[in-house]
Amino acid sequence: MRKFILATLALCGAATATDMPAATAGLAGSWELIGAYREHRDGSRSDDYGAKPRGMLNVASDGRYALQIYHAERPPVEGDFHAAGAQEYKRLLLAMSAHFGSISVEQDKLVFRITAASNPQWDGSVQRRGYQLRGDVLEWRVPPRPDGDVPISVWRRLP
């Protein structure tokens, strides 16, 4: 009877493991942004958030994540932040990207299940992104923008 109970518990543990989201394939931890580019239709690249963008990605062992990217040269708002005009807020919004949710690896893609984002069109969406993980450097491609440019984010794992 004891062997039966142990076998049943082992099978339940295996079932739980397979019911969990796909492994984060070594992504757990903190990452700093080291590059944010736009790849144009002709294959050329340009900086997307300035020459030295700032950003953090934190991935928990259970796949929860939070991500922030900021343009390198974000001038402060003149005067009261809460009283800024529409153009000022637009400038600020376009100089950053943030979202959180859960991340998993499925086949050759990172799968972002986005709970909420600075871009409200992404709220509740699922995005599959091609990626490469080489040592402590992670790179992925975001879905193309309306102009056809493909954003590319490059991250380095923090010790």
Tens digit of each residue's pLDDT, the chain (159 residues): 444 333 333 333 433 333 334 567 789 999 999 999 999 999 999 999 999 999 999 999 999 999 999 998 988 888 898 999 999 889 888 999 999 999 999 989 999 999 999 999 999 999 999 999 999 999 999 989 999 999 999 999 999
Q: What are phi and psi of 11, to 5 degrees?
A: -65, -40
Domains and CATH numbers, the chain: 23-157 (2.40.128.280)
pLDDT of residue 20: 38
Residue length of the chain: 159
